[in-house]
Structure 1
Amino acid sequence: MPKQIPLPHLLQQQHPDVQLFQQSGCRILRHQHCHLNASRQVFKAEFWYKNNAVTGSAAGRGTTLFVRHDEQHMILRQYLRGGLPGKLLSNQFVFNGYQKTRAWREFFLLLEMHKLGLPVPEPVMAGIDRSGLIYRNYILIKRIPDAVDLHQKLTQQALSDELWVHLGGLISSFHEQQIYHHDLNIRNIMLDKQNQGWLIDFDKCARLTGDNWKAKNLQRLHRSLEKEQAQNERFFWSEKDWDCFIQGYEAKSR
């Protein structure tokens, strides 16, 4: 059975609503609003399929599962490597301390942003499964209700000028809090039924100092729009839309 152990003192002070458990070589972070057992089995696809709790999946670098527990809809994601290392090691990372693992860092960054009022999904659980110098890690987060990513939206219809201004203000609100998104592209921006924007997938993201990185972050997003426009026969975007986006970004940052 998993055993609850104390969080590092500073984290316990900052996040009294987070519990830490140990199960053999696996450490599990769990938010107190979560009623799932803190077990490594929760991070295995078999657990959810066995309980008929899988509601869908999405293919990317790996497979992301959409799951349900007590009417709570969530997303289960395993951290995978990209590029050549990913072909060799796939889901394995070199262990250098629990607080430096990708799941641990994303879990607490999401909590921090949520407390700042930024539109991000809430973390539920994170698991770091260590075996000697190697670890694998997973995260379980709440799913944003009735939301689609910006890529899907733009392959279906054009967005209004007002919505592009809103999206510019969305990204500006993260930059104002010094939140750097490592992979800022249109597949990581979501729109819900009320056309409110959300930002997702904060793996390898962080709070940075200074402002020099912000323009490059915007350029990355712009390149993703250009790339998808070139690759999709139907893609409702133009440079005029980007002008509206920048207008919203600059208005929010003043």
Structure 2
Amino acid sequence: MSDAAQTAPWATRARPHEGRVAVVTGAARGIGLEIALRLARDGARLALADADAQGLAASAQAVRELGVDVITEAGDLAQESVANTLIASALAAFGRIDILVNNAGGGVILPFLEHTAQTLKQTIDRNLWTVIWCCRAALPPMKQQRYGRIVILGADSVMSGLWDHAAYNAAKGGAHGLTTGLAREFARDGITVNTVAPCAVSTPQLVEMNTKDPALVDRFVSIIPMGRAAEMAEVASMVSYVASTEASFVTGQVISVNGGSTMP
């Protein structure tokens, strides 16, 4: 039996991220907030980021109410300087970064020929450049401490080819590709890199969309064998797992949380 197996910390720890520091992007609402709250309950101290300063402040307050230390950084993470400032602020506040959850995103979902140059750029910026810059900023301190967990929020639609998602899938597919490249490059530095790829998720945005265009939402959900969208907590649960020491031998994977909408 290996030393790792003999000393498996998850065998005795109820809070798997106790003593860890996690950075969560896109944390002002929806899945990002749910992930932040899950990691906080699991023991992590948090640095939260989002372009929505008001929503970010509300998220931070929700985390503080759990008795967890938290800092925030508002700004556009598609800009390298903002990503660098986020990581520098987390290091200054906590002295280390153990977990980076690249959740910032949100595409403009349109038939491909209805996109404009602006909406295409917006989709790539939000879903790929945010990930690239945050990873580049977080990897050096993770490499120095020889420990890190990077989790990217991808998209099951990359594999299912969902209607109206071509541009979004181009960005998320790039993030999926970044996952495997980084996982191999940093595998011997104690750093794992994985993507959690949900299908349609019951976020406030999806609920709002359902009131405006229920036929469109039904179309997206129709390919899911379970017949429903994922709950945000179901996505956050997988993120917490792959961000833990328990997942120490899981890297370079795109893990679907999709109710069976794509299967190998």
TM-score, scaled to structure 2: 0.24
Per residue, is there more helix in 1 or in 2? Answer: 2
TM-score when normalising by structure 1 = 0.25
Structure with greater Cα Rg: 1
- The structure whose residues are more often strand, as a share, is 1
Higher relative contact order (CA 8 A, sep 6+): 2
